[in-house]
Amino acid sequence: MNVAERMQVVEGDITSLAVGAIVNAANDMLAPGGGVCGAIHRAAGPGLAKECQRLGGCPTGEARITSGHLLPASYVIHAVGPVCHGGDQGEPALLAKCYRAALELAADKRLADVAFPCISTGIFGYPKADACKIAVATVSDWLRGNGFPERVMFCCFSSDDAALYRAELAGVS
C-alpha cells in the first residue's frame, strides 16, 4: 500500500472514532480545555484528566499517551502544538515535531490506526491552510519510512477543514 492509500480524511467528531488512538490537540498542562481538547476530555470522562495530571504536562512540540478511558479509541495521544505568533518563532518546526512525536508513540504501541484533529488551528491561531500543509507533509514523510501506524486519518470537524485536507492529500503520491 502506498503512502497516499494509508491516509484519509474523515469529517465528524473525533471522539466517536473506534481507532487505536485519537490525537488530542493538547495544551502544555494536558488540562481539559476548549475545542477538540475539551470535547475529548468530556467524552473520555474524569479519569482522563486524572491520568493527565499524573503526567505533569508536556512541552510544545512533544506528545504523551494515555488510555482512552470511556472513548471508543484505545488510547489518546496528547500532542502539544504551538501557539501561532506570526510564524517567525519556530512554529512550523514545532507543529511538525508534535505530529512526529504523536506518530512515534503510535508506532511504539504498534497501533494500526490513528486519527489527528487539526492541531493548533483553533484557539492557538495557526492558519488552517498552513497547518494542513505541515500536517500532511509530516505524516507523509513518516509513513514513507515506517510501517506503523498503518493508517492515518485527518478528522476534521468542519467541511471547510475537510476540503483543505482532501485537496492537500490529492497531491500526495
pLDDT, tens digit, 9 for 90 and up, residues 115-167: 999 999 999 999 999 999 999 999 999 999 999 999 999 999 999 999 999 99
**pTM exceeds 0.95 for this model:** yes
Q: How far is CA 27 from CA 51, 52, 98, in A?
A: 15, 11, 12
pLDDT tens per residue across span 54-87: 999 999 999 999 999 999 999 999 999 999 988 7
Q: Name the class of domain 4-169.
A: alpha beta
* Separation between Cα atoms, residue 128 and residue 134, nearest integer Å: 10
Task: Single out the residue of 59, 139, 144, 142 nearest to residue 94, CA to CA.
Answer: 59
State residue 79 phi and psi, 5-degree precision: -105, 125
